[in-house]
């Protein structure tokens, strides 16, 4: 007779990841406590956020043990969205400066229409 039990993962891995999440959260809070500013602050916040999200998705949502097709179906769309956001943010300065130049320094004057 076949066993109907599902796959069991050792509990120690969950406790290790739980501890790592506390450590990474501590680092994340230290960014605010040390009052870091500028690009360093936002880079650290984003890195810690992605590390925590990776641990949660990989271990607690059991993604580590899934087949590659499911991983790709779940992970590729957010990666594509992040790439598009990066491209839009790169393009934003050019678009803004072009609008300022076109609308702000134009000699174009609207003349009233006389009938």
Tell me what pLDDT residue 91 has. 81
Q: Does residue 98 register a pLDDT over 70?
A: yes
| Nearest residue to 76 (alpha-carbon basis) of 63, 91, 90, 62 | 63
Q: Which two tokens stand for residue 1?
A: 């007779």
| Backbone phi, psi, residue 76, to 5° | -70, -40
The separation between the first and the last C-alpha atoms of the chain, rounded to the nearest angstrom, is 97
As a dihedral over the C-alpha atoms of residue 28, residue 30, residue 35, residue 40, rounded to 10 degrees, the angle is -50
CA distance 3 to 82: 44
Per the model's pLDDT, the better-predicted residue between 86 and 74 turns out to be 86
pLDDT tens digits, one per residue of 40-66: 998 899 999 989 988 888 888 887 777
**pLDDT beyond 60 at 34:** yes
């Amino acid at each position: 007779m076949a066993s109907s039990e599902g796959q069991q993962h050792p509990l120690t891995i969950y406790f290790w990841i739980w501890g790592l999440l506390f450590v990474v959260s501590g680092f994340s809070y230290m960014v605010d406590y040390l009052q870091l500013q500028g690009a360093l602050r936002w880079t650290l916040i984003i890195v810690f956020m992605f590390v925590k999200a990776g641990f949660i998705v990989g271990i607690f949502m059991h993604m580590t043990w899934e087949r590659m097709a499911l991983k790709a179906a779940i992970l590729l769309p957010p990666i594509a969205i992040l790439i598009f956001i990066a491209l839009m943010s790169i393009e934003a300065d050019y678009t803004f400066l072009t609008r300022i130049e076109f609308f702000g320094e134009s000699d174009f004057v609207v003349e009233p229409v006389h009938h």
